[in-house]
Chains A and B, each alone.
Chain A
Amino acid sequence: ILNVEQSPQSLHVQEGDSTNFTCSFPSSNFYALHWYRWETAKSPEALFVMTLNGDEKKKGRISATLNTKEGYSYLYIKGSQPEDSATYLCASGYSTLTFGKGTMLLVSP
């Protein structure tokens, strides 16, 4: 059974704070790690897909790292803004994905 865990479950920060959260996954039979951003009442939006150990991806103020040997990925948001408020999901897999429960981020002005 493939379990994907995310922490923390929720996070409340002030505008301008930098933050990060964790996704852990079984390192055996790893193929790819996906990060999604999911705003309320909208579709989950794909942020990153990573496969290589040590990989780092960046999209604006958001970046992610990947450690496939120990089975974790970090998502970083630099200088959080209220519009970053969303649930951030990670998922492991190739075409069939196993999702974590997500980290709900709230950024207050």
Chain B
Amino acid sequence: GAVVSQHPSWVICKSGTSVKIECRSLDFQATTMFWYRQFPKQSLMLMATSNEGSKATYEQGVEKDKFLINHASLTLSTLTVTSAHPEDSSFYICSANSGPGLAGLETQYFGPGTRLLVL
């Protein structure tokens, strides 16, 4: 159980185009979804947190108009990189939280990630 899919797994695009990445929880309803970015040899960095039906909360330094997040249902969140530029090239990965489990602990279940290369 607790499977999260992410699509596409990789994408190459021209500078100036927009790229949409989908994150789906396949066998559970995700109350919260998270979007991370990872640059080479760096840690996963949280970009934003989204709850179904409400606006995403962005981390400091992440441009909300650049990285559009839509969380339209309890099983789907999308990240759109608008007008992508080479510096946006990175590994983007989502996770989903099914809500508090034992002792109130919440586990994040991750997708496999999307590698974006902007030429």
**Chain A contacts to B: CB under 8 angstroms:** 4, 32, 34, 36, 41-44, 46, 49, 51, 89, 91, 94-102
Whether B43 lies near A101 (C-beta < 8 A) is yes
Whether A32 lies near B112 (C-beta < 8 A) is no
Interface residues of B in 7-39 (CB under 8 A from A): 32, 34, 36
* A36 CB contacts on chain B under 8 angstroms: 110
Known A41-B112, A43-B110; contact A99-B105, beta-carbon cutoff 8 A: no
Whether B107 lies near A95 (C-beta < 8 A) is no
Q: Is B97 an interface residue (CB 8 A)?
A: yes
Whether A46 lies near B107 (C-beta < 8 A) is yes
* Shortest CB distance B23–A (Å): 11
* Shortest CB distance B82–A (Å): 24
Whether A99 lies near B109 (C-beta < 8 A) is no
Q: Determine which of A4, A32, A91, A102 lies in contact with B105 in the assembled complex, contact meaning CB atoms within 8 Å.
A: A32
